[in-house]
Structure 1
């Protein structure tokens, strides 16, 4: 562990073997049959591309048809619930290999993190894990952030996240999928912004070197973002107050 709170888990010393991974198709009812070759090819491509940047832990990949479990309109949903396991849900009628590759690469970063500090139980830990996974996709594939990572959080969201940073009873669905005063994908947008802010000041870091960073090491970054948000809100309030006085003159 370094002074910055980082550990080195992506490339373990002495590792000489390739990643062992097994794909399990839940296809007793043949809902995936017509796209089985494309699924296998996309999985191989994702492993190959991700392995250029990081040593992936051994894992099992479970794939099943479940349109209701997919991101609306994209035909795929991913989850890494435990160490060494990725679960993928597909809508066969909306299947797109590039989207499956992106989803798998995102989940592969979660696998790396599971073998380090874990995904996390608090809001701050989840923000760091999701932010790093999104930046890993960019590191491997380039291009633009996924739409959830590009979400602009509403005013006040950063400060609210700072206040709930250590809470383990936070509402994950509310923060990451929307609810109440939080727009859809707020947590993904905050996590992406959090990591981007760190990387802007530490250009030698990336999603792989930070793969096992403790979330607490990035808490000052969120505090800095909260301060920036507060300053922006104060400036906006002052501007509005000035306009109101001018209107009343």
Structure 2
């Protein structure tokens, strides 16, 4: 079923690449709210981890979360075949945002719980912090996507902040480009999306757009 849904969304000129799907059972090693998680180490392989002992596991299966996680990871496989996941924070934000919008394109809905993890008052400061780290290949991935305390210049990053920023960044791009589809964007460079949509995301978050002379220094 998942393969048929994905194939239906892909354009005729995009082949379904061969992908090995590893299903593993690991107690306590999944997203606590779901009892599921996924990981894509390379373009031809993804791993889906299940925890049947998790109290939310059966409800997650019934809700279709297994299919949604598989779809998300499949987009990572597509992106690995072209521009890659990326090595900077900006590239990671876009790769994760595209993967969850691909899930939305294939399976419907409005993203996952990690795509809506920030309150209105948290956005401005986090967007400024993200801008400062955009081009860094030594950014702390775990910090930005799973939360925690960073160095003094970063401070506390809420859980799933990177996923939420990435999802809404790609969403802003799609709003500005109604003809665009995540299924057609696996090869789109991250900075193409950031350059066109970041200012729009800032405005929606309530963060004032910087003066023109400052924007030259930013995405």
User: If the TM-score is normalised by the length of the shorter chain, which range does it land in?
Assistant: 0.7 to 0.9
1:63-110 C-alpha deviation (Å, 9 max, x unpaired): 111122210120111000111110111012324432111100010110
In our comparison, the structure showing a higher alpha carbon Rg is 1
Deviations 1:101-128 (A, max 9, x none): 1100010110110101011111011000
Equivalent residue for 1:90?
50
Does residue 68 (structure 1) correspond to residue 28 (structure 2)? The answer is yes
- When normalised by structure 1's length, the TM-score is 0.71
Asked if the contact 1:199–1:206 (Cα under 8 Å) also holds between the matched residues in 2, the reply is: yes
Q: How has the CA–CA distance of structure 1 residues 203 and 226 changed in structure 2, closer, same or farther, with 3 Å as cutoff?
A: closer
**2:185 is equivalent to residue 210 of structure 1:** yes
Query: Contact 1:56/1:108 (CA < 8 Å) preserved in 2?
Result: no
- Residues 165 and 79 of structure 1, relative CA distance in 2, 3 Å threshold: same
Alignment match, 2:175: 200
Please name the residue that 2:116 is paired with: 150
Find the residue that maps to 2:104 and give its secondary structure: helix
Cα distance change of structure 1 residues 225 and 68 upon mapping to structure 2, 3 Å threshold: farther
Identify the residue that residue 153 of structure 2 maps to in structure 1: none
- TM-score by structure 2 length? 0.81
Alignment coverage as a number of residue pairs: 189
Q: Alignment partner of 2:129: what SS?
A: helix
Unaligned runs of 5+ in 2: 150-155, 210-219
Deviations 1:184-209 (A, max 9, x none): 10000000111111111100001112
Q: 1:230, CA displacement in angstroms?
A: 3.1
The worse-fitting range, judged by mean Cα deviation, of 194-203 and 87-96 is 87-96
1:161 corresponds to which of 96, 117, 130 = 130
Distance in 2, matches of 1:52 and 1:226, equals: 30
CA-CA distance at 1:222 after TM superposition: 5.3
**Cα deviation digits, residues 172-229 of structure 1 (max 9, x gap):** 0110001121111000000011111111110000111222100121222454147524
